[in-house]
Amino acid sequence: MILRLIYDETLAQASYLVGCAAAGEALIIDPNRKVEDYIALAESKGLRITAVTETHIHADFVSGARELARATGAQLYLSDMGPADWKYGYAGEAGAILLHDGETFRVGNIRIEALHTPGHTPEHLSFLLTDTAATDEPMGIFTGDFLFVGDVGRPDLLEKAAGITGTAESGARQLFRSLQRFHALPDYLQIWPGHGAGSACGRALGAIPQTTLGYEKRTNWAFEVTDEQRFVQTVLAGQPEPPTYFAEMKRVNKIGPVLVSEGAIPLPEASIEQLMADLQSGIPVIDTRPSRQYVEEHIPGTTHVPFGPIFLNWAGWLFPYDRPFSLIVDASTLRQVITQLRLIGLDQVAHVWTLDVLATWKSTRQPLGNTPQITVQEARQLLAQGQVTWLDIRSRDEYVAGHIQGSQHIHLGSLRQHLQEISPEKPIVVQCQGGARSPIGASLLEAHSYPQVMDLVGGLLQWQKAGYPVVKGAEPSYL
């Protein structure tokens, strides 16, 4: 048997290749849209992809299962569990075999058994793996977003992200019962989860790639809570804000995503006149340069989301799904940017400009803008004199843990929806934890014509380093 983890750092997401060397066949579990990676891996091992499946309808990335099955001619297996209104809408068109609890399929000598493990989502399956060439005893289980290293999948996403009222508590109770079912399974089973640390699909996921069921029974908080009501209260408490794009991912993956092969990557650079037209017509133009470059000079009206470790997270929060958007991007990273955006279904790139556009903009005698930066010492004095509006754009949990007295809290991901709550009468100081998010928030305000916006250098960490006080425990007004 061949087993390989394919891990996407930008999504903190795990896919798996399970191969039978004797038969030359392979199964892919939970593929994302970069289907060429799975095909290349299988070919490098001398395998044909003959089966594709996924544990559930994903909320944090666009599934590549349909596309990979079509590209390879593999059989697609999908869950048929859960309520009637939460089924795969494209299963018939894709020729999928629908799986129920306890049903099995084979890839060469490898037997896969579907176990219904609802809670994170109603249709969720885990896949028990047995290498029948060696034994009739199972080796491990692919748990998707049900069981992680040190945590369990959050049951509140359908309610918070997809807006399906009343599903958080019922999902938590289903999750508790799914965990009870796992108590009866052998402790030696290896656990192969669908996500690692950094994913918003759980509260505190471990960073190691796999674990064992016995270890999780001993160390995972979820197995320690034996009272159902206490489990429900615990699992729902303190969950991070789900990115707004999760609702779109649920919808797309349920009805069937558009195939990547049907859309080309935009390569020709648009004209400066087109850039002006986009800005005037309200098409968002996102500048993906590093923040230090953006704050020094940028084209007025553009929004800033730097390409790097935080890019995909904030793109999902802030980029539009209902209309096109345009990009300013380094030519050397263009394909990477487009590929990452497609992982979460942001396909509607209208126009692209490379970094030369700033020089071209200058040549038209159009002024460039900049984002003034302010130190904590300067900002503290202005705040004490009542001369600024202080905007804290961190998460709710960060705000409650400690914030600056007199600050207004609006989570960065919700900032666009709450702009009317921010007065333009005073200069605005935008503050985050360490300074990585505040340039993004400042750019949003500037793009919406707030005349005086300043970026706090170093954020709350620098404030505390200077010995200035913070307030703890107060609830924010806005998420």
Asked if 275 and 236 sit in the same domain, the reply is no
Comparing 75-89, 235-249, 257-271, which segment has the lowest mean pLDDT? 257-271
Residue in this structure with the two tokens 């084209």, named with its chain if needed: 299
Residue 84 above 90 pLDDT? no
Asked if 194 and 95 sit in the same domain, the reply is yes
Comparing 134-148, 255-269, 406-420, which segment has the lowest mean pLDDT? 255-269
Read off the CATH number of the domain in which 233 is found.
3.60.15.10
Helix, strand, or coil (residue 432): coil
Residue 262 above 60 pLDDT? no
Strands 303-304 and 211-212: unpaired
**Angle separating helix axes 245-255 and 311-318, nearest 10 degrees:** 90
Q: Considering the domain boundaries, does residue 227 fall inside one?
A: yes
What pLDDT is stored for residue 137 in this prediction?
96
Range of the domain at 446: 373-465
Residues 101-152 pLDDT 10s: 999 999 999 999 999 999 999 999 999 999 999 999 999 999 999 999 999 9
**Stretch 27-45: mean pLDDT, rounded?**
97
Per annotation, catalytic residue among 161, 235, 432, 453: 432
Enumerate long-range contacts of 168-172, CB under 8 Å, 24 or more apart: 168/236, 169/232, 169/236, 171/118, 171/119, 171/120, 171/121, 171/122, 172/119, 172/231, 172/232, 172/235, 172/236
Asked if 40 and 104 sit in the same domain, the reply is yes
Residue 264 above 60 pLDDT? no
Asked if 247 and 271 sit in the same domain, the reply is no
Residue 67 above 50 pLDDT? yes
pTM, two decimal places: 0.91
What pLDDT is stored for residue 479 in this prediction?
47
Comparing 37-46, 241-250, 458-467, which segment has the lowest mean pLDDT? 241-250
Structure tokens at 145: 């977003």
Residue in this structure with the two tokens 């750092």, named with its chain if needed: 9
Q: Considering the domain boundaries, does residue 354 fall inside one?
A: yes
Residue 475 above 50 pLDDT? yes
Residue in this structure with the two tokens 């965990």, named with its chain if needed: 179
What pLDDT is stored for residue 165 in this prediction?
74
Q: Considering the domain boundaries, does residue 33 fall inside one?
A: yes
Structure tokens at 298: 């940028």
Tell me the pLDDT band of 267, cut-offs 50, 70 and 90. Answer: low
Backbone region of residue 238 per phi and psi (left: phi > 0; alpha: psi in -120 to 50; beta: other values): left
Asked if 59 and 102 sit in the same domain, the reply is yes
Residue 477 above 60 pLDDT? no
Catalytic (active site) residue 201: no
Out of 255, 281, 316, a domain closes at 255
How many domains does the structure of the chain reveal?
3
Residue 478 above 60 pLDDT? no
Beta bridge partners of 281: none
Tell me the pLDDT band of 422, cut-offs 50, 70 and 90. Answer: very high
